[in-house]
Each structure stands twice: as C-alpha cells, then as structure tokens.
Amino acid sequence: MTDEPAKRSPQGGATSGNQIPAESEHRGGQGASPRSGHGVLIAILVAIIVAGIVVMGVVPRLKAKAALRTETTNLAIPTVAVIHPRRGDPEQEIILPGNIQAFEDAPIYARTNGYLKKWYVDIGSHVTAGQLLADIDTPEVEQQLQVAKSDLNTAQANLNLSKITEDRYNGLRNTDAVSKQDVDNAHGDFEAKKATVASAESNVKRLEETLAFNKIYAPFDGIITARNTDIGQLIDSGSGGAAKEMFHIQSTRVLRVYINVPQQYSQAAKPGLTADLTLAEFPGRRFKGQLVRTAKAIDPASRTLLVEVDVNNTTGELFPGAYTGVHLKLPEGIPTFILPVNTLIFRSQGLQIATVAEGKASLVRIVLGRDFGSEVEVVSGLTGQENVMVNPPDSLVEGEQVQIAEQSPQQPSVPSVPPSNPQPKPGQQPGGPKI
C-alpha cells in the first residue's frame, strides 16, 4: 500500500493529510478557553446582583423592625411635660376680702304707741348724741296718765282717812273702849292704803316715762342711713304687734372691717399689724388701717381666724357696707410657691401633685393657700426643686415610669414691619396723591 501523494499547499508547500485535523484541533482548543471565562464572570455578576437585591430588601426591613420595636417600647412609657414651682412673693402680703361696717350701728324704734307728729332729720343727715329726731302724738298715753293721777289722788285720800282712824283707835285702846282686834284692823287698813298709794305713784311714774318716749333722740353721733316713717303714720312699740324700725343710725368716723385669715397665717396675724384697704371706686389709692383684735379661735367650719381692722374715716369717703380688699402685711415670711391649676390632682387621698425624679413619678400631698384663678399658692409640701408634672393622667400611680418631653426653645415673634416702599394703589402715582 502506497501513500497518497502529498498535497501542496497554496503556498507551494506540501502537507500531509494527518496534519490538517491536528491543526484544526489546535485551533478549536484556542477558541473554547475564552467562552469558559465569560461564563464564570457572568455567574459571579449574577450572584452579586442577587446578593445586592437580597441585602437591599432584607436590611431595610430589619432596620424598620428594630425601629418599630424601639418606638413601641418608647410609646409604652408615657411622655409628660414638667415645670418648676415659682417662688411666691417674698413680702408675704396677703389680700383678703372684707366688708366695711360702721363702728356703731343701731336701729331706732319707738317705745310708745301713737302717730308720728313730725320728723326732723332725713337720710344722710349728720346728728349728734341727744339730738331730737321726731315727735310722736300719744293721746291714749296722755289719757292713761290722767287716769293714773286721779287714782293716785283717791289712794292718798283713802290713806289719810285710814291714818286718822288708826290714830283714833290707838287713843281709845288705853281706855279699853275698843278691843285690841279693832285696833289691829285699823292698823292693817292703814298699811294697805299706804301700799295702794305707792302702787298708784309707780303707775303715774311709768306713764310719765312712757309719755316722754314721744320724743325720739339720737343715741350717739352719726349719720341717719334710713328713715322708715312719715307724718301721720301709726307708731307701734311692739306691744300689740311687730315693731317697725323708724330710723337707722351709723357712726362712720371710724370703720370696722372684718376679715377671715386662713389658718396657716393665723399665728402671724397679731394686733398692731398694718393693713391697707383698696376699693374699686378708688383706683390706685390705699386707705391705711390697723389690725386691732382677733377672735383668738379658729372657726371649725372655714378653718379661718376672724380679725378686725379699724380704719379712720374722718373725711367720710368710705361708706359702710362696701366691699374692700384688705392687704395684710405679715411680719415674717412664710415660704410659698406658685403652681398652675392644671398640675393639681384631686383624689380621695387629698390634694396632690405629681413629680418626676429619675424617670419615675411620685405623688406628693400639698396644702394650698390663696387661689389666683389660673394659679394657686402652695404653702406646704414643696421645696422648689421638684419637676412638677403638667396635666398628669388620671391613671398615674406611685413609681410609674415616665419620660420627660423635650421642650423646644420658643421662637421670638418677629413684628411685622410695613414695607419701606409700598406699591401705589391703582390710579395713584408713587408718593403722590390719587389722580
């Protein structure tokens, strides 16, 4: 078997048949290696993309879950706002309501029956002690006095006759012309007539004094504040019905003001303290007064001490019955604090407030002083360093965990400033009058 003749290459070289496949295999090996590298690279890229997608989808969820868990934990703890108690006025001047009263006050009634004949003073009249106020016509009393005088004359005549009879019997007794019994009877009759005369004299004196009551006099210096009668009106002293007040008189040169001092200030309220009066009809003015006496006993109903303040009123500017505010200046300071009313807790245990310390709530009992409307004065239970809770929840208990809300600083309000060059209105030139 002879070999096939060698084929010449286009270049003129001869090549055998076995050399062509080997060359082809060699070329195929060189083409397969780049394809494998590209596949691995694509696989790696796909894995990275898938991992990125997984990470981008799972991590935010984990973060959101952790944030939700933190928020839920924070929401489980109540957030509260707190304030610090404000120190009260160091001067310790308390203002208490009071009613001005006259130093002497008396209604004037009639002591006899009759009809008003004439009155001499009216409301607002200044009178002095013993001044005649009115005359009463008393015809019945005058007639009764005449009858009483006649009875007295009769009794005196009977007494004189009984005296003569007694003397006569005493003279006959020595001669045994009359018995001892007749003498005793004459003496007894004389004593009875004597008592009758004394009774008649007393009756006359009573009616004379009653008749003297037909003139009404002022009992003290003062002002007539009421006149409840007129000429011809029936006057009843009260013996046959209800008595009616004729005049009302008040002494106003010095006025009394009664106030109720709270128990916590009772020890400081002593005679001699200065007290000023303020009235709405005298804005900006103060009338000087002085504490003169106290009741020295606490009223169990109001837990207050009754105090009297006297004020000179020689000018007559102040009127009895007026409402006034009494500024009582205490001699020594009582530490007090001011809190808004929305910090108070009203429970069966008494009045309380809630304080926050180290993240826990504490209930503190307090004692109030004055009420200023939106604020109250605390006289016991605070030191001034507490964080007092505002609007405490009704379900708050001792030791409950709370957190204090952050207070953002208030932004100052900027006043509105008008523009320096305002736009002209339609039909008006800038800076000129309207066309």
The residue that leads in pLDDT, 78 or 249, is 249
Eight-state DSSP code of residue 428: B
The answer to the question of residue 357 being in a domain is: yes
The answer to the question of residue 389 being in a domain is: yes
The answer to the question of residue 328 being in a domain is: no
Q: pLDDT over 70 for what percent of the chain?
A: 81
Hey, CA dihedral for 61, 64, 65, 66, is it positive or negative?
positive
Q: Please tell me the predicted confidence (pLDDT) of residue 334.
A: 66
Q: Domain boundary at 213, 232, 257, which?
A: 213
What's the average model confidence in pLDDT over 94-98? Answer: 91
Q: Which amino acid is at 195?
A: A
Give per-residue pLDDT as tens, 208-217: 888 888 899 9
Q: Return phi, psi of residue 247, to 5°.
A: -135, 165
Does 332 score more than 70 pLDDT? Answer: no
The residue that leads in pLDDT, 78 or 131, is 131
What's the average model confidence in pLDDT over 181-201? Answer: 88
The answer to the question of residue 77 being in a domain is: no
Query: CATH code at 147?
Result: 1.10.287.470
State how far the Cα of 429 lies from the Cα of 92, in Å rounded to an integer. 64
The answer to the question of residue 176 being in a domain is: yes
416 confidence band (pLDDT: 50, 70, 90): very low
The answer to the question of residue 255 being in a domain is: no
What's the average model confidence in pLDDT over 378-382? Answer: 87
34 confidence band (pLDDT: 50, 70, 90): low
33 confidence band (pLDDT: 50, 70, 90): low
Q: Domain boundary at 161, 194, 213, which?
A: 213
Full domain range(s) for residue 391: 337-404
Q: Please tell me the predicted confidence (pLDDT) of residue 11.
A: 42
Q: Please tell me the predicted confidence (pLDDT) of residue 400.
A: 87
Q: Please tell me the predicted confidence (pLDDT) of residue 303.
A: 93
Q: Please tell me the predicted confidence (pLDDT) of residue 329.
A: 82
Q: Please tell me the predicted confidence (pLDDT) of residue 425.
A: 42
Q: Please tell me the predicted confidence (pLDDT) of residue 294.
A: 93
The answer to the question of residue 30 being in a domain is: no
Distance linking the first and last C-alpha atoms of the chain: 130
What's the average model confidence in pLDDT over 393-415? Answer: 71
Give per-residue pLDDT as tens, 269-302: 889 989 999 999 999 999 999 999 999 999 999 9
Structure tokens at 374: 């939106």
Q: How many domains does the chain have?
A: 2
Q: Please tell me the predicted confidence (pLDDT) of residue 7.
A: 44
Q: Please tell me the predicted confidence (pLDDT) of residue 299.
A: 93
The answer to the question of residue 11 being in a domain is: no
28 confidence band (pLDDT: 50, 70, 90): very low
Does 171 score more than 90 pLDDT? Answer: no
Structure tokens at 361: 């709530």
The residue that leads in pLDDT, 5 or 326, is 326
185 confidence band (pLDDT: 50, 70, 90): confident
Does 12 score more than 60 pLDDT? Answer: no
Query: CATH code at 364?
Result: 2.40.420.20
Eight-state DSSP code of residue 4: P
Q: Domain boundary at 176, 194, 213, which?
A: 213
35 confidence band (pLDDT: 50, 70, 90): low
Does 16 score more than 80 pLDDT? Answer: no
Helices 139-173, 180-212: axis angle to 10 degrees equals 160
Structure tokens at 364: 């503190």
Mean pLDDT of the chain, nearest integer: 81
Q: Give the CA angle between residues 297, 298, 304 to the nearest 5°.
A: 135
Contact 105, 320 (CB under 8 A): yes
